[in-house]
């Protein structure tokens, strides 16, 4: 009976150590991600921002994406239209942690709109992109 209790205690200890190791890895992966600020300009003159009264033929929001593998695009962040989204707007910006994955990445900002039927449409992800090297804990600014 003592051997059975020791085996149960041993297995319990192993499970606790494994859970602690996984928790440490998840915590440190987030903490070690790069601190990224993405900034861009957008001209709302051709198409206005969406609003409560304008739900078609408008710009709904932006998305920052990792397009390194264009067959498997990864959404990093959604970004709302700025409070004053009229004409040319400079300095639209979002700060976020990114990584893993680390290494050479291609980051893009797209405009997401609604066409005359209310369907989602997007700008070309290759039009506003930068190639960067994401390193753990690095601080970087991306200008599009």
Pair of tokens at residue 8:
């149960």
d(CA 14, CA 34): 32
- The tens digit of pLDDT for each residue in 122-131 reads 999 999 999 9
- The tens digit of pLDDT for each residue in 101-122 reads 999 999 999 999 999 999 999 9
Q: What is the pLDDT of residue 110?
A: 98
Q: What is the pLDDT of residue 136?
A: 96
Residues 6+ apart with CB under 8 A from 109: 38, 40, 62, 63, 64, 65, 79, 128, 129, 144
17, pLDDT greater than 50: no
Q: What is the pLDDT of residue 28?
A: 45
Q: What is the pLDDT of residue 20?
A: 41
pTM (2 d.p.): 0.77
Contact predicate 74/66, CB 8 Å: yes
- The tens digit of pLDDT for each residue in 25-72 reads 444 444 689 999 999 999 999 999 999 999 999 999 999 999 999 999
pLDDT more than 70, % of the chain: 78
Q: What is the pLDDT of residue 32?
A: 86
Distances (CA, A) of 69 to 61, 72, 131: 23, 5, 12
11, pLDDT greater than 80: no
d(CA 1, CA 89): 74
Q: What is the pLDDT of residue 73?
A: 96
d(CA 58, CA 49): 5
Q: What is the pLDDT of residue 31?
A: 60
Sheet containing 34-43: order of strands: 88-98, 34-43, 139-143
């Amino acid at each position: 009976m003592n051997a059975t209790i020791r085996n149960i205690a041993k297995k319990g200890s192993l499970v606790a150590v494994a859970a602690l190791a996984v928790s440490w890895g998840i915590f440190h992966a987030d903490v070690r991600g790069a601190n990224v600020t993405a900034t861009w300009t957008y001209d709302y003159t051709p198409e206005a921002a969406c609003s409560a009264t304008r739900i078609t033929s408008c710009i709904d929001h932006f998305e920052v994406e990792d397009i390194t593998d264009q067959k498997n695009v990864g959404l990093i962040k959604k970004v709302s239209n700025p409070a004053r989204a009229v004409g040319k707007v400079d300095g639209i910006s979002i700060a976020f942690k990114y990584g893993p994955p680390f290494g050479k990445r291609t980051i893009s900002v797209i405009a997401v709109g609604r066409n005359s039927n209310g369907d989602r449409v997007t700008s070309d992800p290759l039009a506003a992109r930068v190639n960067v090297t994401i390193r753990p804990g690095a601080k970087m600014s991306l200008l599009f």
